[in-house]
Amino acid sequence: MLQLSEDQLALKEAARGFAEAVLGPTARQDDETESFRRSHFQALAEHGFCGIPVPEAYGGLGLGYAELTVVLEEIARVSASYAVTLGVNGLPQVILLKHGTQAQRDRYLARLVTGECLGAFALSEPDAGSDAGALTTTAVRDGDEYVLNGTKFWCTHGGVADLYVVMARTGGPGPKGISAFLVDAGSEGLSYGKKEAKMGLRASPTVELVLEDVRVPAGNLLDGEGAGFRIAMSALDSGRVTIAAMAVGICQGSLDVAGAYACERRTMGKPIIAHQGVGFMLADMACRTEGARLLVRQAAWLRDAGQPCSEQAAIAKCVATDASVAVSTDAVQVLGGYGYTREYPVERFMRDAKVMQIVEGTNQIQRLVIARHLRQKYERG
């Protein structure tokens, strides 16, 4: 669980080489211009990174989240935006594998793996973020179709995705009235609103999704009416593990830049890493990074073993994303004035890190999840 196998180490090195060779040269420009490159997504797919946990029957590698988190860490170490692309594209995959029909899997899974199809996940709304059970987008049955109406916020890949997993209300109020649908990008009535001007993850588009009488075949309903909230929460457990892995990547990227700089920059006749104030700061950064990494590996191992991982995923997400903010901020401090400029990537790492505490359930929500598990544990005695 803690030590990577030879195959996992080889995958890690392949991902690191890919990130540095393909993503690294354009990372700063993509951030500054808020540009998403479909070619980068295609390259991720061509290297097999888009199908790591997908069975070989659908073109995937047939591996697990232990391997996926290793790859995500290496991608995020260079570009958190494209790590998010990889992670979000994986949400429809995990949903289809667990809740899709054979026909749905046959239609979409291989295309999500090969890069022909870019996936997205649409749950949040203007008044339904952390309180996902309060969503108001509706889906009304009309013969062999459902008619969807509503607006989705914070949709990663909005406007560039080919497939959206959309949560909509088919029943009464609350979580039990929510269902999940597969919605193709070309569906009539589906349009895109405001593109968010974000502090970080600027190469990853976040766009409003507008559904106006969008007709979806009944065969695109996932796991029956009323299963949507359960599907979303299950997907978010997996998503929290992947977000935690990305946060570790930001930690490692920040530590690498700050450590190298601290060995090169000299004051008072010695490298600044030899000054206790800086050396201790780097030591704390390393402690946070290694601790978060071990929590991610434990959560990934539990998921791959088929064991309950909701609590561990929440702990890993909470600790790793808090660490990414602290470590990236300290990296800026180590570099001093240079850290505050775009000459070095640590200011981008710091901006990218902040949203990791928010997406896939805020860290306040994670603490609610952890507290709920603790209450169940201690009430049982």
- Euclidean distance between CA atoms 43 and 190, whole angstroms: 28
Collapsed DSSP state (helix, strand, coil) of residue 164:
strand
pLDDT score of 12: 98
Say whether 46 sits in a helix, a strand or coil: helix
Q: What is the pLDDT of residues 36-58, one digit of tens each?
A: 999 999 999 999 999 999 999 99
Q: Does the structure show a pLDDT above 90 at 126?
A: no
Return the bridge partners of 142, or none.
145
Quick one: pLDDT at residue 380?
A: 86
Domain annotation for the chain: domains and CATH numbers = 6-118 (1.10.540.10), 120-226 (2.40.110.10), 230-380 (1.20.140.10)
Q: How confident is the model at residue 127 (pLDDT cuts 50, 70, 90)?
A: confident
The residues carrying an active-site annotation are 360
